Amino acid sequence: MADEMGQQEYVGHRLIEVAALPARVAYLIAEGSSDGFRAAVRAATHRWGGMTEPIIEMTSEMDNEAVAKLVRIADVQAVVNVDTDASRAAQLGDSWKLPVVAIDDMRSGAPGGIWEFTSPSESMSDLLGGRLVRPTVQTQKALCGL
């Protein structure tokens, strides 16, 4: 709360708990694409140590229902198109109700881009006065003890 001069009024202590984690994504690669696979492995390894982000090869025989189940179980928040057809990737993203972004735009900060850390929840945003906090390189280094 601010007074008429814009000064912030002290309202007391607040305890909040924050988990700063990368947003989980699923990577879509073209059928038989070893370059796409390597790019997806590099990105997943950088973000989560390669453990929790599925890499999905877009084959003609792909079982969409099984892949949708995998995406739900992995609890991904977005889809990254590494090197597959953009319109097919967009269709899959729509069917899973997830945003799709090209791998080159992953950390661009552009609308639809996927940030290194997840966005605060609504309640967290309310606690911060409606401001969304974007982590900086310094924040990331501090969290990693660098």
Residue 131: band (very low, low, confident or very high) from pLDDT cuts 50, 70, 90: very low
Residues 68 and 92: their CA atoms lie apart, in Å, by 9
Question: pLDDT category, 134, cuts 50, 70, 90?
Answer: very low
Terminal-residue alpha carbon distance, the chain: 35
40 phi and psi angles, rounded to 5 deg: -65, -40
| Model pLDDT, residue 32 | 94
pLDDT for the residue 2: 56
State residue 127's pLDDT score.
39
Residue reference for tokens 């924050």:
18
pLDDT in tens, 36-80: 999 999 888 887 776 788 999 999 898 989 999 999 999 888 899
Which stretch of DSSP H or E encloses residue 107?
none
Residue range 6-19, pLDDT digits in tens: 677 777 777 777 76
User: Which pLDDT score is estimated for 92?
Assistant: 92
Contact 113, 101 (CB under 8 A): yes
Phi-psi region of 10 (alpha: psi -120 to 50; beta: other; left: phi over 0): beta
Which is more confident, 90 or 11? 90
19 or 144: which carries more pLDDT confidence? Answer: 19
Work out the average pLDDT over 84-106.
91
Question: 25-30 and 78-81: which strand pairing?
Answer: parallel
Longest Cα pair distance anywhere in the chain, in angstroms?
A: 65
How far is residue 84's CA from residue 56's CA, in Å, rounded to a whole number?
10
> pTM higher than 0.75, yes or no?
no
Question: 28, 81 in Cβ contact below 8 A?
Answer: yes
**How many CB atoms are closer than 10 A to CB 84?**
19
**Selection from 87, 86, 112 nearest residue 25 by Cα:** 112
What are the tens digits of pLDDT across the range 96-128?
999 998 988 876 555 555 554 444 344 344 434
Please tell me the number of Cα atoms within 13 Å of 121 on its side-chain side: 8
